[in-house]
Structure 1
Amino acid sequence: MAKGDGNEGFESIVICNCSFNNNKTCHVVSISLTALNISATLPPDFSKFRHLKVLDLSRNYFTGTIPREWTTLKLETLSFMGNRLSGPFPKVLTNITSLTNLSIEGNNFSGSIPPEIGKLINLQKLTLSSNAFSGELPVELAKLIYLTDMRINDNNFSGKIPDFISNWKQIQKLQIHGSSLEGPIPSSISALTSLSDLRISDLKGARSPFPLLRNMDSLKTLILRNCLIYGEIPEYIGDMKKLKTLDLSYNNLTGEIPGSFHKLTKADFLYLTGNQLTGSVPQWIVERNKNADLSYNNFTWEPASPIECPRGSVNLVESYSTSVDKLSRVPSCLRHKFPCSVSSKQYKYSLHINCGGKELNISGDTTYEADIEPRGASMFYPGHGWALSSSGNFMDNDIDADEYIVTNTSSLSNVSAIHSALYTTARISPLSLTYYGLCLMKGNYTVSLLFAEIIFKSDRSFYSLGKRIFDVYIQDELVLKDFNIEEEAGGTGIPARGMYGPIISAISVVPNFRPPIIVGKRNYLVVVLGAISAAIVIVLMVLGILWRKGRLGGKNSVEKELRGLDLQTGIFSLRQIKAATKNFDTENKIGEGGFGCVYKGLLSDGTVIAVKQLSSKSKQGNREFVNEIGMISALQHPNLVKLYGCCVEGNQLLLVYEYMENNCLSRALFGKNATCKLKLNWPTRQKICLGIARGLAYLHEESRIKIVHRDIKTSNVLLDKDLNAKISDFGLAKLNEDDKTHISTRIAGTIGYMAPEYAMRGYLTDKADVYSFGVVALEIVSGKSNTNYRPSEDFVYLLDWAYVLRERGSLLELVDPDLGSEYSSEEAMVMLNVALLCTNASPTLRPTMSQVVSMLEGRTAVQDLLSDPGFSSMDSKFKALVNHFWQNPSQTLSMSTSGTVTDSASSNIEIEESRNR
């Protein structure tokens, strides 16, 4: 064995086995070259080590990808953790089937995980964290039945956490932090009874109840942070007596802290931050004085409750409900919004904090107060006129308490001697830092936040490979999204395990406005101007989830209704929206929907948005506004338009959506000029049709709340820059939580798209959407509008003509002439027959949307039309109704309680070609 010195405790080791050929021959069996700052591509010559079993090249600066020659290696352990390797997942590795331990964490690999990974059937440990992988997890991962350790943190995967994780019966560590996967956590996870370390965070999608973890008695670490979990915490969690870390923060948990939690005597870290927990704070939590963070909850005051804010290891800041506001004996730090507790005579005009450092005097007249409290895992600390709340522990680093403060020993370029002392220290936290500036006089202030990256270096060593990304909030308003000090200062970096999380060097709050001051290449100064009233709250958070229910502006009835919703979106201020849209400049107006105008906007972080401005004068509009927020906030799917948030201030009712670069399908198909109309080839039309079907299948069958849209039409299908279809306008959606038929007393929809049973009798099921989809599918194939195309006076709609052509056996005459011969007649017939099947006059004979998806994907043969009443054989009453619709396109029908059909003017009927969100 040969050794060499590496960096800070790392060693380079080469091990030879000399037992070959009767101890006459030696072969290299293990090479460890860690933390040597090797800057090179990977050498193909490693393949010559035919007996090599272990190769550890972690924490270097290797670039490029894996040489093809390595296919012949018989490795058992291979690690590239913390390098700069890039490209797609290296398929070369899938041929080294002897591997039991593979780590490619902390590189720049991207793209999907190939199915070939299923060939690595001997794997026991697989670490893919901190790359840029995307796509769904391949089902072939289910073949890795010997896995004991699986980590896929910090990637861009799509789809849900798969059920096949139940195949990993031997798994002990499972980490799915920030992987972009959707919830819920599958019930199949209950089969993983060998787990000792389970970490899942930042799931997308709909809310879900607490996952079933009852039999996981070996758990030592349980993290389910920001997983959209609702309901009460199960009592059996308290029976997991081996737990050392429990983190259930930033969910929607309600009820009291289970009484069984007092049995968690080995738990050193307990995080229940940012929930809706009620009841009293258990006395044993305060008395035990282990790291516990219960901040931002709704606890009630009891005689035994703390008479002052605990300092040190227990954080209760803003943890009590608003019901304690009238109780003078409750400390201000426990109240919501942390009010000032001194008389106005003691109010201040400025605030200066040297974060993590001692008191400093700058320029002779400005004193930065000391901030040297070493702890930070779950800490509340009051200063003079300010306070600090810190949360989170560095899970994989066994660091001491004082390492929540870091010191810089290197010089910083382009920093004046006057300010250089402020960058010698910084406070750091793995999850969140909140500074409260208390008791400031009302007025306009400049808030300066001084950042310097003093942990990750700028040389070509593995120490430079860290990436620190966090969000910055001021006064509960997001001012910097995914803030990266390195990028802002001109550097680069890739993720690596280590002391990541928010870091800040100094804070300054002064009256009057100042221009920004640039303070050096690897430093960054943030200046925010605004009105401050009594207190200022500055939050730095590694996750952008600090917005909490109940922080809505406005005092009208809509706000009251919104407070009753479990929103999963953000709240925007009117000031933000006005800045983004240039005060609703007419040049930014991109459309006009049923309840108001739509504007294009640009947020301060560069995000392009579409703002839907609803009329506050319309009670109907208000109701639709509440419906739309409540439902869209719980729905996330690639084929649904994404709702970023809303704004309710004064008379303003605003919805903020992702911007759709290609407007709507109606404009793309039927645009009046070349600027509006898009040339959609056949594969694109197929993709759009299938996307709409998938979005509806999700609404009807896959989401937690089953929804009938009620107004599917081409103008409610938006197209992004890649012409992916996204369904919009859920304001007319009808909740269908009990999966029952609904008789609507107020029909809402658009002429030409409404199913006959819904238009005539108000009979509403998800089959009404299926009918509307069928009409849209016909329009996609034909390029013609169902309501505007009349080949002769005998036909009111395109659909009428489709049935006639079907009877003649010439259905392909419907195909858009603009396609020429550039389409598949077989595929066109599939789409047309599916469309006709969906528009069957009998709702029971229409397929479900999941069946439609299956037929369009070619997995299921298109069913024979079970009946063909069509529009040509409708009874006279319905024909008369159709003609009435055609002659009165500006009216909708509503069902009176007596069952008679009456006309009523409404804004729900929309005939348009140029809408966007």
Structure 2
Amino acid sequence: MLNRHHILLPILLFSSLLAAGDDGATMLKIASSFRPPPTGWSSSSSDNYCKWPGINCDKSNSVTSINLSSKSLSGTLSPDIAALSELQTLSLQRNALSGTIPSFANLSSLQEVYLDSNTFTSISPNAFSGLTSLQKLSLSDNAGLSPWTFPDLSQSTGLVELQLDNTSLFGSLPDIFDSMNSLKSIRLSYNNLSGILPASLGVSMVQNLWINNQDVGFTGTLQVLSNMTQLSQVWLQKNLFTGPIPDLSKCLDIFDLQLRDNQLTGPVPKSLTDLPNLENVSLSNNKLQGPFPEFPTSVEKKVVDGNNNFCNSNGDPCNPQVTTLLEIAGGFGYPVSLSDNWPGNDACEWSFISCDSRKNVITVNLEKKNLVGTISPAFANLTSLKNLNLNGNGLTGSIPDSLTKLTSLQLLDVSNNNLSGDIPKFSNSVKFSYSGNSLLGKSGGSGDGGDSGSGASAGGSDGNLKSGNSKNSIAMIVGIIAGVLIFVAVVCFVSYKYIMNKRYGKFGKVEGSDAERGVVKSPANGGGMNGNGGVPSEMLSQSNGDRSDHHFFEGGNVVISIQVLRQVTDNFNEANVLGRGGFGVVYKGELHDGTQIAVKRMECVSTGTKGMNEFQAEIAVLTKVRHRHLVALLGYCINGNERLLVYEYMPQGTLSQHLFEWRENGYAPFTWKQRVTIALDVARGVEYLHSLAQQSFIHRDLKPSNILLGDDMRAKVADFGLVKNAPEGKYSVETRLAGTFGYLAPEYAATGRVTTKVDVYAFGVVLMEIITGRKALDETLPDERSHLVTWFRRVLTNKDNIPKVVDETINCDEETMASIFKVAELAGHCTAREPYQRPDMGHAVNVLGPLVELWKPTTQEDGENSGIDLHMSLPQALLRWQADEGTSTMYGDISYSQTQSSIPAKPSGFSDTLSSSDGR
């Protein structure tokens, strides 16, 4: 009998020769797929392939590594590479390989794959599954790849580095990182990823996390970071993260933290400013609140300014009422809506807040604000609070007992939430409403907890909380008697109103208008609340009867009668026309107290549900949009088929008047500093609208784009990027930023597609206008110069041409020209022919911001004439500028500085005109 070793030896020798032969044939195919084959390789013979440059083999002539980085290779990568069963390392980075990335599935020896910086166009399905030895995978900078989802790496538990940035990834991240105990680096930047961060990241050992600059962006909170104790470099900028910055006190190794350009809210935690190794941090362009953060001198680079809502700019503590309200917002998870509406250090100027003459908060009206979370006990710190309305949200948890200690409280409405726990006992002076909380009063406490569906407990909550059968019986009898009395009173009131209406004809619908009875609803206005859902009595329509013919829209805007609008516009006199657009005519109006308004009288629309729904949608959108660079909607009117919107008036004219018609209008031409400031404010306003669109808060077709300019050279953007009936083959200038904005991008002219990149194109045209002082379309010029974009693109081909086309009214010193070059370059990028070649508005903000905020005049004379103190912040400087020029004082973080509700304060002329005695 033969020894088994004598049998195995030939078998092993044969297998080795077979493997070597297979690798030789495979290498020949790989060599043939390259164009041309690498130097020293053969495409006709596989002899000595183990000695080809860049190839390593083991003792059995099996290929273990291919290293051809930066060899100017083109062609494709043969799918036969999957036959190299012993391959451990593949390095083909920094070449020009194209086509499909083949499958490496189940190559159990493969440890490192470097295919970055090529031009691949697609990836084979399951290309990286079953790679049990994989340690490093890099496909970075293959921007031409077709969209693909995160690869199956579930069996690559030894993965150390993953680099898939700029590879067209989309979708969400799988929750697999708890099994990857060796993973140190994740680079997924510049893709189209979305969703929330997987919880498994919290138990990973990741040190470097780069997921910045997503097309759509990750959402949700950053809470998972607090458990990632190995973190050292974190790049999360340019996403849609919300909520507060988490506690990072356990992440002691972080040296570089980039959180800018998100939607983060709440105060900056001390755990962040105390990080011992922090060197670089960026928090700009968020919604952060509380005191301005102070970092130690060891932090070499810190960028915090820019579109945050800090209460101050010097690190001092916030006003105590501001601190309390921010703590209250914390109970709701610091929603973005409260950050946008609660900036600065004076709570009495905030939306949804009213104060008394001593600036004590007396009303907090957060009805129907889509709030979640819990009711904070901090409400008890507002010791003068009289009215608290939290009706119609999604709040959970219990009602804090501390609210019972508010001695001035008169009204508490927590109806229609998801509250639970015991029902606190309030004094008889408190009107307490809590219906619509099915779990409230059912978690123990004295007695049976009452019936949460019983509605309001006027005069305290005793009626629902008494224990014992006798007390319950008494309460029931009292309730029945009260109900009968209320019913009788209602019947008498309705009968009286019916008789008076029959006799005097002053009760009922006004002919020709569904909403001409004056102010119908303003649920968020401050003032004395009387149980009418937070609506002051003087703001209610006199008619409390049948309202089936009314149209009620949520959001806090007031309905204004057509009679009032006719009166304040001199019956829509042609002399009061401010402008004409695709949706009708805008008129200037003046109330009795001198307040100026702008009334957009929209062209007649079809009657019926569809037309009303569209108008209702626009009202709902405009109500949600609140930003310091957006015009506020003051009210609306429905008059038969007409739809009218009332905005705050912009007294300083339009951008076009200052650029093109300044001589005719008697204006001074804008300086370069003013022009760049305007461009920055527009960019910030549009960026804000784009962020809302990405979060589905608004629909792109609803045109909620009325932009305010921060230096109070206020100009209205009407329906930018959404031009109708544009002449074929031309870029329409029908709707413009005060006559210059809203140009048609090429893709919209051909396909009608509306995207954020259409707005970017239009913004680029505005930049060209502020540089040249020329209109976007000037048919008085020769054809080769009439279209600004086409002409200016030719100018940009030679930098030396730019000084020759600058508006002659601009004083072009060396510093100004340097700024103009940067703006010109940005304009060229924004008006690129293909949408994907254009930046987003965040990039425009980043380019323009330093040109404005770090501006220094070249001479002392310039500084004095500008009226700007260079030590001031930009908003402070602009306020000083306005004061010196005697311009409007309406600049602020919200449209009217005295606003104390969800909308700008209702001009006094409205209330005077629409008093309850009018009978409208």
Report if TM-score (shorter chain) is over 0.5. Answer: no
Question: TM (normalized to structure 1)?
Answer: 0.42
* More strand, by proportion: 1
* More helix, by proportion: 2
Structure possessing the higher radius of gyration over alpha carbons: 2
